[in-house]
Amino acid sequence: MRTFLSIAAALLFVVAAETSAFAQRAVYNADPNIAGTTYRPFSARTYSGHAINHAQILQHYATNRDAVSKDTAQEHAAEIRRNVDAFGKEIAKLPKDYEKDPEAAKLIAEIRQHQADAAKHCGMLETECAKHMAAGGVVMQCCTDMLKHLRAADEAHDKLMKHLGVPMPLGGSKK
């Protein structure tokens, strides 16, 4: 009997937790700001995070190596570019109303500047990756500089989300 009650209690807990998670997702899905051409804060976080991951991987490959193969370098550089650009597009969708708030305007400008700087370093990386063998030191430095700006943009984006009262995605912070 005791085992049966324990199993029933555990099952009830799982059902309640899943129902709660589903209800939270349903609220976000019902939000009209999530679809279309409006700003999607969780998408911006995702694109930025993927760019950081690919830059870290390429930086790792380039560390203490004279060269990185063209295929490997170009594969990661293309993903970095795609995600840096997608992050920029999401940030460009921030509502103009936010710019009337001085703190939000400051953070938005900071995010945009860091994203633009990351894109610039991405261009330098792509130039290096077009070579037969990308120089390890150059690739590493491009990734290091890019990561500095991507992480700073992420930090400013987190501050903006907190300032605007946008909850973190389910699962919490990525840091």
Can you tell me the mean pLDDT for 95-117? Answer: 92
pLDDT band at 16 (very low <50, low <70, confident <90, very high): low
14 pLDDT higher than 90? no
More confident residue, 40 or 79: 79
> What's the start-to-end Cα distance of the chain, in Å?
44
Rounded to whole angstroms, the Cα distance separating 116 from 149 reads 9
Residue 171: predicted pLDDT: 56
The candidate with the shortest Cα–Cα distance to 157, out of 122, 119, 110, is: 110
Task: Please check whether residue 34 is in contact with residue 28, taking contact to mean a CB–CB distance below 8 angstroms.
Answer: yes
Return the axis-axis angle of helices 136-164 and 70-92, rounded to nearest 10°. Answer: 20
**CA–CA distances in Å: residue 76 to residues 51, 59, 80, 92, 106:** 9, 10, 6, 24, 31
Rounded to whole angstroms, the Cα distance separating 52 from 80 reads 8
Query: Taking the CB of residue 115, how many other CB atoms lie within 10 A of it?
Result: 28
More confident residue, 158 or 21: 158
More confident residue, 7 or 27: 7
β-sheet bridge partners, residue 69:
133
Give the tens place of pLDDT for each residue, 41-93.
Answer: 889 989 999 999 999 999 999 998 899 988 999 999 999 999 999 999 999 99
133 pLDDT higher than 90? no
Residue 25: predicted pLDDT: 36
Q: What is the pTM of this model?
A: 0.74
Task: Please check whether residue 70 is in contact with residue 129, taking contact to mean a CB–CB distance below 8 angstroms.
Answer: yes
Give the tens place of pLDDT for each residue, 148-172.
Answer: 999 999 999 999 999 989 887 765 5
More confident residue, 33 or 127: 127
21 pLDDT higher than 50? no
